[in-house]
Structure 1
Amino acid sequence: MEIIKVLNTSVVLAKRDDGKEIIVMGKAIGFKNKPGSLIQESDIQKIYVLEDQSTSNDLAELMRETPEEFLIMTDEIISYAKRRLSTHLNEHLYISLTDHLFMATKRFKENLTIQNRLLWEVKKFYPEEFSIGMHALELIEKQLGIQLPEEEAANIAFHLVNAQQTKDNLNQIVMMTNMVKDILNIIKMHYKIEIPTDTINYSRFLTHLQFFVQRLLENKMLKTDDHDLIDQIMRKYPEEVKCVEKIEKYIKTNVDYTISSDEKMYLIIHVNRVVQRNNA
């Protein structure tokens, strides 16, 4: 195994005998070697073999500025997630999650807090991924002595949800994208408004719609027995009810799905928020 680049004192980019580029980690492996040097097996602690060459290159660039312990933690989290979820996770997760963990701890040390306004939705809609995120926070506290807020578990869950989107469900992703766009158009036409796309308000609403459509297509819609609350919401927001009924009709016509009362309630609430804040 020959070293191509020294990324830091403990991480190098190397080439196997078959020409495959890999990330190799080992104590002082980058300190005592240089490009062209052969790696001794006794110096190797961990090897990362990524099938996608561009992903491997991106990870190599990231490790130039990121302490190796973050890649090690990411590897542990991904291995744990694969066991829990029993599904394929996109290799790019090694890059996105390593970078996120590094920046999250850096912000914490600088006393900078970025709230995840969708914490409740993530906990409710993606409980398994959120549970893995909480496990990740425990791992970070154990290894770095840093106690990150619960919002970071939701952020990690986002990365896991995105990493489950593969070429195999590309058609579903395209359908989701088109449905979200159509639902937004229904809302804008019903209220005869334009919703600015460069605001956090729009971003939150868009994320809710994406979650809603994903649950719809995966047949994982929310269902509870709190009919009193649903009736109360529908009485309180009659105009939003009319708008959501149009959305409901669109969904029934295009994908032949009937949305649950709970999903209608949450749509009514979110439509009200985006419309009222748009008019504010």
Structure 2
Amino acid sequence: MAKVAFLGLGVMGYPMARHLKSKGHEVTVYNRTFAKAEKWASENGGKAARTPREAAAGQDIVFACVGNDDDLRSVVLGEDGAFAGMDKGATFVDHTTASAEVARELYAKAKELGLAFIDAPVSGGQAGAENGVLTVMCGGDEQDYAAVEPVIMAYARACKRLGGAGAGQLTKMVNQICIAGLVQGLSEGVHFAKKAGLDVEGVIETISKGAAQSWQMENRYKTMNAGKFDFGFAVDWMRKDLSICLSEARRNGAHLPVTALVDQFYSEVQKMGGGRWDTSSLVARLEK
């Protein structure tokens, strides 16, 4: 059992921290809104801290799941940041979907301070976090990863180190690139089936047994067909993730024409007022 801190109690962090506590780890939480940290502590029996530094003090592992690169730097660096409170030899595990650049930056800073840093973005959404079945993609030093993997498995069904610092974030980019194309394809398929006068449910139940099958098809076609999008991974978040993918592609020379196109389609959904809709709402722009 480990002494751990968890920074960031959003829709992902709140249940992830709960799973850590339920597995017997000693958990201290921090959230920008202290009342939310107090609420988590009262519900789960852990401790609430007023700053990242306070939360990180004396912990074996400090986890974080915040919004973006700047949010991550704000909880890690500075006088009240986690690094200022961590003991030498402790490990920082970042579950934020952020850039590979910030992962490498914070990895280097951690090394200077005698700390370890693992970039570990996740896939599986809010449902995966609630049910403790996330997929975790990691980058960092092998020995540091090996030490934290058993603790991460408190809320994961799969966890793997893909390489050095930044490799976890790069793998999450691959994940989002693939999802973007899949959701657009599924949206067009559902839209086409409707226009063709087919029984959408019967069509998808049939083709999902063949080569067209995907997680998106299995889990989203019914709500897409019904025009329900008030749940799941928001369009605003997806556009943030795709902007990271496209920026990295400009640096490494990758060509992402479909990703760039789908990103623009999501901008149309935002203009429709769907910024907080689930990413499967791509179908809505075809039917407007």
Is TM-score (shorter-chain normalized) higher than 0.5?
no
TM-score per shorter chain, which class? under 0.3
TM-score by length of 1: 0.26
Question: Larger Cα Rg: Structure 1 or Structure 2?
Answer: 1
Q: Which has the higher strand share?
A: 2
Q: Which has the higher helix share?
A: 1
Higher RCO (CA < 8 A, seq sep 6+): 2
